[in-house]
Structure 1
Amino acid sequence: MRIARFTTGDDPVYGLVDGSGRKVAEITGDPLYQRIELTGTVHELDDVRLLAPVIPRSKVIGIGRNYADHAKEMGGETSETPLMFLVPNTAVVGPGDPVVLPPQTQEVSYEGELAVVIGRVCKDVEPEDALAVVFGYTVANDVTARDLQRTDGQWARAKGFDTFCPLGPWIETDLDPAEQHITTRLDGEVVQDGPTSDMVHGTAALISFASKAFTLLPGDVILTGTPAGVGLVESGQRVEVEVDGIGVLSNPFVRH
C-alpha cells in the first residue's frame, strides 16, 4: 500500500496511490493514528502537489557509514555498532521542494537512502521484533554540508539545515527492506547504485539499536545510510533518488 500526503491547494490530506502511480484516493485523518477509510474522492496524481509523506513529530535518526564502500570513500571505516545522529524535523521537505544551499557552506553533497517510518511507540525492541513496529518505508536524501561536517566534529549543523532532509514521494507499507536497490541521479546521470543488502547493520538491527537509546514514536524516521558514490551538488542541479519498490524522490538545489 502506498500512502501519500498531498494538497490540492487546501489543508494537507492523505491518500492511497494506485498501482499505476497515476491516481490518489483520499482517506480520512492521519493513517499513523486512525484506521484507513476512503472518502470517495479520487484525484489524478498530476493534479495534486505531493508533500513529505510524514513530518516527524519527534525526530529523524540518521545512520552514518552503514555501507562499507561509502565509509571507505569518506576515509573511514564501518563501526561495530551503528553510528547515530539526530536531524531536526524542520529539515524535512517533500518531493519537488527546493533544497536551499545556505551561505555557511560551499560543499554540499547528496546521499540517497532508504528511510524507515516508525508506526507505534516502542522502547528496547529486540531485532527479531523490530520490523513489527514499522509503519512503512520511504525515500530520503540525507543532504550534508561536508565542510561543516569536517570542521564541526559533530554533525547536527551539517545535516540539519532547513530543507536538508527531503522525504518522499510516499510511504510504501509492503516492502522487504533488505532486497531493494538505491539509485541516485545527478542531473540524470547515475552517481550512486547499490543494494540495501550491502548495509553493514540491517534495518531490524538499526531499529533495535535506536530504540535502546530513544523511545521511538509514531512518525519517527530512521535514515539507514547511503551507498558509495556521494558527491557535491551545485545550485541549479537536480538530484533524484530512487528506491526499488517505492519510487523516485526528486529535488532541485538552489542558493539564495
Structure 2
Amino acid sequence: MTRWVRFDDGGTPAFGVVEGDQVRVHEGDMFAGATATDRLVPAEGLALLPPCEPTKVIALWNNFRALGTKLGVSVPEDPLYLLKAVSSITSPGATVPRPKAYDGRLVFEGELGIVIGKKLTNASVEEAEAGIFGYTCVNDITAGDLLNKDPNFPQWARAKSFDSFCPFGPVIATGLDPATLTIRTILNGSERQNYPVTDMIFPAADLVARISADMTLMPGDLIACGTSVGVGAMKEPENVVEVLIEGIGTLRNTVLA
C-alpha cells in the first residue's frame, strides 16, 4: 500500500509518498510516472492540501442498503448522483465557515472517496478497476434545509457546493481492497457513523464503469461513494468532524455552524 499526500512547500504545491514519519517528495505527475527524489520532509506539521485536484466531484445518493432501508426508498437500477462544484474542495484540517447566504442545518456525511487514475470512457468493470488510482476520506457537507426548500426542484448541487463543503484526504491510499474498509465518523468526540463498504449497492469498480458510460472520467476526479446511517446536523458553534478509514487515515475539519 502507498499513501500519497500533497502539501504546501513554501508557497508551491508539492506531493510525495508517506514513509513512516516522513514524506518522500516526488516529481512529475502523480498519476503518470511520478519519480521519487532524494528529498525527505517530516510528515508532522506539513500544511496539507487536498491530495489531488479533481476536474469534477461526483457524489452518490442512495448507494448504501442500510440507509435506503431506513429512508424507505427502493434500490436504484443505476447510480444516483450529483456534481459538487470543484470550488467546494478544501484541505484536511481546514475550517469550514458557515455560508453567509444560508442559516439552516449543516449536515456531515462521512464517505469513502474513489480517486480516478486514468482517463476512462465507456470502461468495462475490468478497465474501471485498473483505472482506479486509490481511495480517500470525504466529508460531503450538506446544507440540509436547502434540498427541498423549493418543492418544484430538489437543490442538490446548491446544497452541497458552498465553498469548503468538500474536504477530503488526508491522503490517497493505493493498493487497498475497498471491500475490507469501514467508514467511521466522529462528531465532537462522539461516534456517529460506523458502516462497512460491503453494504454499497454499486461496488467501486462497477460504480466507476457505470459513471464512465455517462461522462468521461479524468485523472484526479473524485467520486464520493455516498453515505449510510448516522448522518446528522452539526449543532455546536464549532464542530470537529473526523472521518476515519483504516489504511487511509483521519480527515479532520472544524465546521462553524
Sort the TM-score into its range (normalised by shorter chain).
over 0.9
**1:37-76 paired onto structure 2 within 5 Å:** 37-56=35-54, 58-74=55-71, 76=73
Helix, strand or coil: the match of 2:180? coil
Using the size of structure 1 for normalisation, the TM-score is 0.93
The reply on whether 1:79 has 2:76 as its aligned counterpart is: yes
> Cα deviations across residues 98-135 of structure 1 (Å, max 9, x unaligned)?
11221314111111111111111111112233111111
Change (3 A) 1:186 1:215: same
Q: 1:140, 1:77 → 2: CA distance?
A: 25
Please state how far the C-alpha of 1:64 moved relative to its aligned partner. Answer: 0.5
> Cα deviations across residues 71-112 of structure 1 (Å, max 9, x unaligned)?
344453431211011111111111101112213141111111
Please state how far the C-alpha of 1:11 moved relative to its aligned partner. Answer: 0.4
Please state how far the C-alpha of 1:173 moved relative to its aligned partner. Answer: 1.1
Is the contact made by 2:120 and 2:128 (CA closer than 8 Å) also made in structure 1? no
Q: 1:51, 1:208 → 2: CA distance?
A: 28
Q: 1:77, 1:249 → 2: CA distance?
A: 31
The reply on whether 1:248 has 2:250 as its aligned counterpart is: yes
The partner residue of 2:87 within 90, 97, 109 is 90
The reply on whether 1:225 has 2:226 as its aligned counterpart is: yes
Is the contact made by 1:240 and 1:250 (CA closer than 8 Å) also made in structure 2? yes
Helix, strand or coil: the match of 1:212? helix
Is the contact made by 1:64 and 1:225 (CA closer than 8 Å) also made in structure 2? yes
> Cα deviations across residues 34-66 of structure 1 (Å, max 9, x unaligned)?
x2222211111113111100121x211111011
The partner residue of 1:100 within 75, 97, 104 is 97
Change (3 A) 1:73 1:238: farther
Please state how far the C-alpha of 1:9 moved relative to its aligned partner. Answer: 2.9
**Aligned partner of 1:236: which letter?**
E
**1:1-256 paired onto structure 2 within 5 Å:** 1-18=2-19, 20=20, 22-33=21-32, 35-56=33-54, 58-74=55-71, 76-103=73-100, 104-151=102-149, 152-234=153-235, 235-254=237-256
Is the contact made by 2:58 and 2:223 (CA closer than 8 Å) also made in structure 1? yes
Is the contact made by 2:66 and 2:199 (CA closer than 8 Å) also made in structure 1? no
Helix, strand or coil: the match of 1:42? strand
Ranges in structure 2 where 5+ consecutive residues have no aligned partner: none
Please state how far the C-alpha of 1:10 moved relative to its aligned partner. Answer: 2.1
Q: 2:9, 2:66 → 1: CA distance?
A: 42
Ranges in structure 1 where 5+ consecutive residues have no aligned partner: none
Helix, strand or coil: the match of 2:179? coil
Change (3 A) 1:148 1:75: farther
Query: More strand by proportion, 1 or 2?
Result: 2
Q: 1:172, 1:47 → 2: CA distance?
A: 20
Helix, strand or coil: the match of 1:46? coil
RMSD (Å), alpha carbons? 1.4
> Cα deviations across residues 196-247 of structure 1 (Å, max 9, x unaligned)?
0011111112101110100111111111111210000133011000112211
Helix, strand or coil: the match of 1:109? strand
Is the contact made by 1:236 and 1:252 (CA closer than 8 Å) also made in structure 2? yes
Please state how far the C-alpha of 1:143 moved relative to its aligned partner. Answer: 0.6
Change (3 A) 1:111 1:80: same
Helix, strand or coil: the match of 2:216? coil
